[in-house]
Amino acid sequence: MNNLISKIKELRSMMPDADFFHRSSEMIFITPQIRRNMSTHFWESFRMSVALSLGSLLLIIAVGGFSYLKLDKFSPFIIGGLNTKSIVAEAERAGSMFEIAEAKYFEDASSAIATALNTVSQNGPDHLNNEILEQELENIEKSKPRGDASPESDELIL
């Protein structure tokens, strides 16, 4: 411990070289010193706060459009994929189009099944005939809904 205290006293007693002292004091005195009065300091602070405010506003507009300002209809930055209202409406329309296509398929399938059952009941064991079975299978396959069920569903998907 005494050794540490003696080292600290030795370091305190050290003085810089005279040449270094002269050079560094000249450098300090040569650098221009800016005097700032209260009005200069106020305007610099005001400019900085305005810049930060405008930057924050632009960032909010870029990320969320005008939805924070409740000006959705006037926004030039609306991205269709981020507009939740249009996505929900589009999903509801697509769901109803697919429900219509599915109902049409079930209607066609039920009439084909009714026809097949009627034929079987009238003709007896002809329902085991391969030609009749293949013809009925083709009729069912033709009436099965595909991806192109209606032009409206194509528009919704594209």
Residue 44 inside a domain? The answer is no
**Phi, psi for residue 78 in degrees, rounded to 5:** -65, 125
Count of domains observed in the chain: 1
Asked whether 101 and 152 are in contact (CB, 8 A), the reply is: no
Neighbouring C-beta atoms of residue 37, cutoff 10 Å: 7
pLDDT value of position 59: 84
pLDDT value of position 12: 86
Rg (CA), the chain: 43
Residue 90 inside a domain? The answer is yes
- Going by the DSSP 8-state scheme, the letter that residue 120 receives in this structure is H
The pair of three-digit structure tokens given for residue 9, joined into one six-digit string:
């006293």
pLDDT value of position 55: 94
Q: What is the mean pLDDT of each run of 10 residues along the chain (158 residues)?
A: 86 86 89 79 91 90 63 53 71 75 79 78 67 78 62 58
Residue 2 inside a domain? The answer is no
Domain carrying residue 127:
84-157
pLDDT value of position 48: 94
